[in-house]
């Protein structure tokens, strides 16, 4: 064989080999990370996967909170056209597709990566079902944060973080007096409900939260007081709120057009993406005060059973990459959340993440809503709260509506 032919054959084999590998490692990923901060964060995953020789095929489905994306993921998985991997929140959202036998488990990857040891105990409970790992956890978010623009508050004469609801309402009044919108709210059901749950915690702490969502008991003065406090916020919200996306509400705070936003720490990803620094340009505190419970929010990726050749290997590579220490740090720095591994160095994190790290150390984690309620009950509960926010319904009537939603 001539030298030329030998080279040509080698090149051809190499290309075939590469193509084979690339084909085996081609991964379609469905997620709902479409805001500026979210997109910057998932690019860390895509870049790491590409660097490891894989082909990342991004399928974002817009819609904060992910309801739209989850519908696509579940329909495609049940319909036999699953992606290689897909995003869910912690909790019961992927329970059904596990029961249907539609997910591959990650027990090999978990054993190799020592997940039993490196994951916080409560997180293990979210991703390990009947003794098998069915999802890779990628972050820890807390939904009960309050964000603010430091310059706006300074101008209004608010000199310290409100430590309780009375101080929060007083600060909102001060911002209102300067003519700036006090509270940036995206008027969509899931955002109204995050705001409500923060007020619930601010009103009655961990006990009221768990009484409501774990015991499904809204009797007594606590819950009624919480809905009244929630409705009090209405006078601090601008008329442009209905339908507004969460990241546009964060943008109002970033731009000094609003004082506060009550939102999970994915909002911090927007501040970071706009080159704003925690403690300098913006501040953060938890709705429940310094020792607030920290609700387990955040994201996992699941790996649907897939007919494509080599997909099980591809899925293992993806899971390993997502939870690897360097990727965890790079991804979470942009996402606004904290890494899910307990064995990475978190000493350099900003003042907001540091509060999260402290909450984990002090074991202040509490189950998130998606863990405590089935998707149906959660939906009915959230509809009742949104109806109350958007109508003249009385506090007594919403308490009754919520009580029957919880009985579903
Ligand atoms: C997810 C976050 C995401 C947020 C807004 C939450 O359900 O946990 O990762 O940034 O929705 O889209």
The pLDDT tens digits of the residues spanning 240-278 come to 999 999 999 999 999 999 999 999 999 999 999 999 999
pLDDT value of position 23: 52
Mutate which of 65, 135, 273, 295 for ligand 1 pocket (most atoms within 8 A of beta carbon): 65
Nearest CA owner, ligand 1 atom 12: 64
Quick: pLDDT tens for 278-301.
Answer: 999 999 999 999 899 999 999 999
Does the CB atom of residue 368 touch ligand 1 within 6 A? no
How many Cα atoms sit within 13 Å of 332 on the Cβ side? 31
Q: How far is the CA of 323 from the centre of ligand 1 (A)?
A: 18
* CA R_g for the chain: 23
Quick: pLDDT tens for 2-46.
Answer: 433 444 443 333 333 333 454 549 999 999 999 999 999 999 999
Does the CB atom of residue 297 touch ligand 1 within 6 A? yes
Nearest CA owner, ligand 1 atom 8: 298
Q: How far is the CA of 65 from the centre of ligand 1 (A)?
A: 5
Total-model pTM: 0.93
390: which 2 tokens? 């958007």
Does the CB atom of residue 37 touch ligand 1 within 6 A? no
What DSSP assignment string belongs to 275-290? T--BTTTEEEEETT-T
- Residues 215-229 as b/e (b if ≥16 CB within 10 A, e otherwise) read ebebeeebbbbbbeb
Nearest CA owner, ligand 1 atom 7: 65
Q: How far is the CA of 264 from the centre of ligand 1 (A)?
A: 8
Residues ≥6 apart with Cβ < 8 Å to 12 = none
Does the CB atom of residue 32 touch ligand 1 within 6 A? yes
Distance CA 172, CA 65 (A): 26
Residue 404: phi, psi to the nearest 5? -75, -30
142: which 2 tokens? 């807390």
Does the CB atom of residue 334 touch ligand 1 within 6 A? no
């Amino acid at each position: 064989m001539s030298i030329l032919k030998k080279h040509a054959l080698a090149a051809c084999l190499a290309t075939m080999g590469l193509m084979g590998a690339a084909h085996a490692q081609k991964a379609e990923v469905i997620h709902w990370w479409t805001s500026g901060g979210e997109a910057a964060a998932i690019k860390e995953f895509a870049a790491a996967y590409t660097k490891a020789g894989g082909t990342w095929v991004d399928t974002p489905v817009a819609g904060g909170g992910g309801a739209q994306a989850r519908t696509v993921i579940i329909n495609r998985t049940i319909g036999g056209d699953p992606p290689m991997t897909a995003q869910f929140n912690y909790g019961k959202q992927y329970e059904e597709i596990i029961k249907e036998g539609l997910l591959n488990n990650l027990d090999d990857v978990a054993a190799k990566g020592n997940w039993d040891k490196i994951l916080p105990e409560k997180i293990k409970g979210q991703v390990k079902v009947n003794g098998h790992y069915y999802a890779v956890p990628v972050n820890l978010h807390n939904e009960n944060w309050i964000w603010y623009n430091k310059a706006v508050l300074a101008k209004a004469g608010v000199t310290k973080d409100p430590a309780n609801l009375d101080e929060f309402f007083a600060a909102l009044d001060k911002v209102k007096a300067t003519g700036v919108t006090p509270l940036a709210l995206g008027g969509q059901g899931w955002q109204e409900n995050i705001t409500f749950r923060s007020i619930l915690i601010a009103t009655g702490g961990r006990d009221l939260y768990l009484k409501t969502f774990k015991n499904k008991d809204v009797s007594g003065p606590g819950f009624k007081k919480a809905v009244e406090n929630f409705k009090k916020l209405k006078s601090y919200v601008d008329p442009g709120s209905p339908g507004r996306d969460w990241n546009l509400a964060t943008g109002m705070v970033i731009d000094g057009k609003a004082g506060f936003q009550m939102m999970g720490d994915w909002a911090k990803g927007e501040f970071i993406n706009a080159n704003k620094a925690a403690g300098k340009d913006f501040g953060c505190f938890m709705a429940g005060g310094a020792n607030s419970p920290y609700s387990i929010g955040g994201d996992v990726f699941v790996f649907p059973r897939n007919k494509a050749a080599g997909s099980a290997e591809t899925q293992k590579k993806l899971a390993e990459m997502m939870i690897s220490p360097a990727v965890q740090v790079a991804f979470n720095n942009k996402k606004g959340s904290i890494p899910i591994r307990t064995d990475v160095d978190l000493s350099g994190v900003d003042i907001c993440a540091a509060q999260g790290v402290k909450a984990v150390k002090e074991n202040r984690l509490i189950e998130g809503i998606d863990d405590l309620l089935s998707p149906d009950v959660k939906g009915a509960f959230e509809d009742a709260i949104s109806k109350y926010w958007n109508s003249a319904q009385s506090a007594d009537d919403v308490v009754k509506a919520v009580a029957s939603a919880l009985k579903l």
